[in-house]
Structure 1
Amino acid sequence: MGISKMKTLLRALRSRNYRLFVAGQSVSLVGTWMQQVAMSWLVYRLTGSAFLLGVVGFTSQIPTFLFSPVAGVLADRWNRRRILMLTQGLAMVQAAVLAAAVLLGVVQVWHIVALSLVLGMVNAFDIPVRQSFVVEMVAHRDDLGNAIALNSSMVNGARLIGPTVAGLLVASVGEGICFLLNSASYLAVLLALAAMRIEPRAGSAKPRRHVLHELKEGFVYSFGFAPIRSILLLIALMSLTGMPYTVLVPVFAKDILHGGAHTFGFLMTAAGCGALAGTVYLASRGSVLGLGRLIVASAALFAVGVAGFALSETLWLSLASLVVAGYGAMTLVASCNTILQTILEEDKRGRVMSFFTVAFMGMAPFGSLGAGAMTRMIGPRDTLLLGAICCLIGAVVFARNLPRIRQLVRPIYVQMGIIKEVAEGMETAAEQPPMPNKER
């Protein structure tokens, strides 16, 4: 890779605050993935129940559905860095309590469910605030899309390391050490947040109305704009019907592939490899042109990958399928995030990103619970195949709506003063040569 290509790939790192964020989050996210893998394996080891895997997934994510919209209002009102320091500190305590319960040998399933609920409530506020905070860390607005892609790359780079390390640790010393290391990893992100120098954002002193009024205002803004509405609905469908495959990976690892904790770790790492490849590709793009078509293609790839994993009976094919699924899922999410972050009005950023969080994370608990229940009725293979079909239908519907979006988006972008590249990126179904990145 040439020097110029590397500069394009890493251009958001020229912002000091974003460099600090990347340094802290890179450590913390490895611990997060370790805990996620270890918790899933612990539940399945204690119960042998795919349904209870779904229950734990439900309790860890349902608070996002309930509370993220309120968190979005707070993100538009309050100091986002202080909110993040509070949520990260609470997550560190949650991991420490879980580690203590496991290491002392007193852990029971209800402990895991309760602590998952606590973490879910923390994440309900942390995720939309963190999504909104990205724009404050990036000094050059043109680097926003690259920062979002790099953030996804960081998540999935940790996904390569965390599950593999967790699988080895679980097999050798048990799940408790994974939870303990995750708790310690939060110190890195807390130190990074404390070291940042953040300028007060414009409009932060604007008089505020009742929370419910501002929540309604954000909802009308989000779902009254066809491109945002289409993106949110596609992400919600994928999260509800496709992403629950992650909940069933332990079932496939043990019962279909006849492996152990290390097999589970390898499968999760394969999905991470695909996701990392997708986000590195997005980060290397010099333009946001063509993202509309990329959203359609990545949704279709995700569906194909999940279907291949459902039908596979060999480890190598399962790993290959999860690489495809991981690439499709994360390319879709990062592309949608990039478009949303670029077109939003600043005073509504927190609220719209909270709806994005609800679509991506908030729908997942219903998918997890449904997947666990359906596995008991029709088996894990048919459950994943049905989800893959739904995702493919969503991709087709979004593709058919692109001409309509093209008709609606240009006058709205002109009125809002949106960068021309973004308008072209949503309005065309094919890649075009890069254009100057100018404000209207």
Structure 2
Amino acid sequence: MATKHCYLLLGQFLSGITSMTVQYAIIWHLTAKTGSATILSIATLLGMLPTILLSPFVGPYIDRLNKKMLLIVPDIVAAMVALILSAVGEFGGFFPVWLIFVSLLVRALAQTFQMPTIQAILPTMVPGDQLTRVNGQLGVVNSANMIIAPALGAVLFGLMPMPLLILLDVLGAILGVSLLLFVSIPENRLVGTTVHVAQDAKVGWQLLRGNRGLWYMTLIGMLTTFAFMPAASMYPLMTMRYFHGTVGQAGLIEVVYFAGSLLGGLLISVFGHFRDRIHPIVWGMVVIGVTFGLSGVLPRTENGFLWFLILNGVAGLAWPFFNTPLIAMYQQSYAPETLGRVMGILNALMSLPGPVGLIFAGPIADRFGVATLFVVAGIGVLLAAGVMFGLKITREYDRQLQADGSSDLTKRG
């Protein structure tokens, strides 16, 4: 069984790294050819909207359809679109912006299906006491992709013609799908039954809303995302406007953050058998809050930037300690035949505060300074950590969950 989940994670890494490398190359192509902030904003929005708008309606399909096919089909569709885009660029001499938008949207749709599917699969493949560790391994895969893809995309963008580079997405899909063929994924009793999208999405909402402990954790998680996401989106501006840094230094900030996340995921994957997961969750939030808050009061000097770099890496290290145990608690709290619907609703709710927060990020940064945004983010995350540990229902939830050893919501309500 351990080998099978390793095949699953390796397949996701190979598919993800090639897809993200191509996506970065496409964004740089748009930047080079159009120079339009509006075009880049639309491209970014296309990557975010499917998760927010469609995740609640993806869950019912995860619970009722063959999960292996839900991983394979999106990869194949994305590869076909990449093949079309490559052919148009090769034989037409240019890439129509609308077709690039379509390819970005298809990638986002594929991710909208695949991530909650994987989250629903893992509890059926590994013992409950190993879930946090295996989720840590998944976090390592995602962080490695985020570190490698931008650098690899930059190198290949300068070395290869775009039509050929885009074909990497096809290669990644072939490798990912091939590895999935070796994975046996347990199915639940609802597979093959009729999907009622609206009704099933409502059930997912009711299941999440009905578990008071997890519902409060969801609200606190949304508050955390709302607090830190606007500041996190301003890393390049903080580097270049506040510290008067270069584009290269702005890129270094991103790499250091994801390197920290990679290390955090590795630590959890090895030492992630927590007796009470609320403690790493809260401490992760505290560290994120402190690092963001301190970042906003650093001097605008070279030493200040060095400390910003260090604090950024520490924040990246702390993120998996907040996110990974929390996801594992959701996975253990629901039966396999309902988990897809719950995770679909959860992913939509957790994704929503990001764009909402971004609406306020620009005006706040322009009016009060980008550093103020980091101070506000730090205070907001620290307040969320206080609420998470202060509420008895969230503070004691995991101890009760592990003591019961139950994945039946009716016993957790």
From 28, 45, 49, the equivalent of 1:62 is 49
Distance of aligned partners of 1:321 and 1:411 in 2 relative to their CA distance in 1, 3 Å threshold: closer
Q: CA deviation at 1:400?
A: 1.3
Distance of aligned partners of 1:101 and 1:72 in 2 relative to their CA distance in 1, 3 Å threshold: same
Counterparts of 1:93 and 1:68 in 2: how far apart (Å)?
23
Q: Give the letter for the 2:121 counterpart.
A: F
From 122, 147, 159, the equivalent of 1:160 is 147
From 223, 240, 243, the equivalent of 1:237 is 223
Counterparts of 1:175 and 1:247 in 2: how far apart (Å)?
27
Match of 1:82 in 2: 69
Counterparts of 1:382 and 1:93 in 2: how far apart (Å)?
45
Match of 1:278 in 2: 264
Match of 1:405 in 2: 394
Instruction: Say yes or no: does 1:132 pair with 2:123.
Output: no
TM-score between the two structures when normalised by the length of structure 1: 0.78
Q: CA deviation at 1:37?
A: 4.3
- Name stretches of at least 5 consecutive residues in structure 1 with no aligned partner: 1-13, 424-440
Counterparts of 1:388 and 1:112 in 2: how far apart (Å)?
37
Give matches, 1:38-437, under 5 Å: 38=25, 41=28, 53-96=40-83, 106-107=94-95, 112-138=100-126, 140-170=127-157, 179-199=166-186, 201-204=187-190, 210-252=196-238, 256-260=243-247, 262-285=248-271, 287-309=273-295, 313=300, 314=302, 315-372=305-362, 374-375=364-365, 378-401=368-391, 403-405=392-394, 417=406
Counterparts of 1:188 and 1:134 in 2: how far apart (Å)?
20
Q: CA deviation at 1:46?
A: 5.8
Counterparts of 1:249 and 1:176 in 2: how far apart (Å)?
31
Q: CA deviation at 1:73?
A: 1.0
Q: CA deviation at 1:77?
A: 0.8
Counterparts of 2:98 and 2:129 in 1: how far apart (Å)?
47
Q: Give the letter for the 1:351 counterpart.
A: R
Counterparts of 2:308 and 2:125 in 1: how far apart (Å)?
38
Q: CA deviation at 1:69?
A: 0.9
In the alignment, is the contact (CA less than 8 A) between 1:240 and 1:367 conserved in 2?
yes
In the alignment, is the contact (CA less than 8 A) between 2:120 and 2:336 conserved in 1?
no
In the alignment, is the contact (CA less than 8 A) between 1:54 and 1:368 conserved in 2?
no
CA RMSD of aligned residues (A): 3.5
User: Could you tell me the percent identity over the aligned residues?
Assistant: 21
In the alignment, is the contact (CA less than 8 A) between 1:54 and 1:370 conserved in 2?
no
Count residues in correspondence. 403
Deviation larger for 296-305 or 176-185? 176-185
Deviation larger for 235-244 or 311-320? 311-320
In the alignment, is the contact (CA less than 8 A) between 1:275 and 1:328 conserved in 2?
yes
Q: Match of 2:274, SS? A: coil
Q: CA deviation at 1:290?
A: 2.5
Q: CA deviation at 1:276?
A: 1.3
In the alignment, is the contact (CA less than 8 A) between 2:329 and 2:398 conserved in 1?
no
Q: Give the letter for the 1:292 counterpart.
A: I
Counterparts of 1:259 and 1:106 in 2: how far apart (Å)?
31
Q: CA deviation at 1:257?
A: 4.6
Counterparts of 2:366 and 2:87 in 1: how far apart (Å)?
32
Deviation larger for 356-365 or 44-53? 44-53
In the alignment, is the contact (CA less than 8 A) between 1:75 and 1:129 conserved in 2?
yes
Q: Give the letter for the 1:125 counterpart.
A: F
In the alignment, is the contact (CA less than 8 A) between 1:152 and 1:330 conserved in 2?
yes
Q: Give the letter for the 2:273 counterpart.
A: S
Q: CA deviation at 1:282?
A: 1.5
Counterparts of 1:210 and 1:101 in 2: how far apart (Å)?
38
In the alignment, is the contact (CA less than 8 A) between 1:94 and 1:119 conserved in 2?
no
Q: Match of 2:181, SS? A: helix
Deviation larger for 312-321 or 46-55? 46-55
Q: Match of 1:195, SS? A: coil
Instruction: Say yes or no: does 1:31 pair with 2:52.
Output: no
Counterparts of 1:318 and 1:169 in 2: how far apart (Å)?
30
CA deviation vs aligned residue, 1:270-299 (integer Å, no higher than 9, x gap):
111111121122222262312112111111
Q: Give the letter for the 1:130 counterpart.
A: I
Counterparts of 2:113 and 2:76 in 1: how far apart (Å)?
13
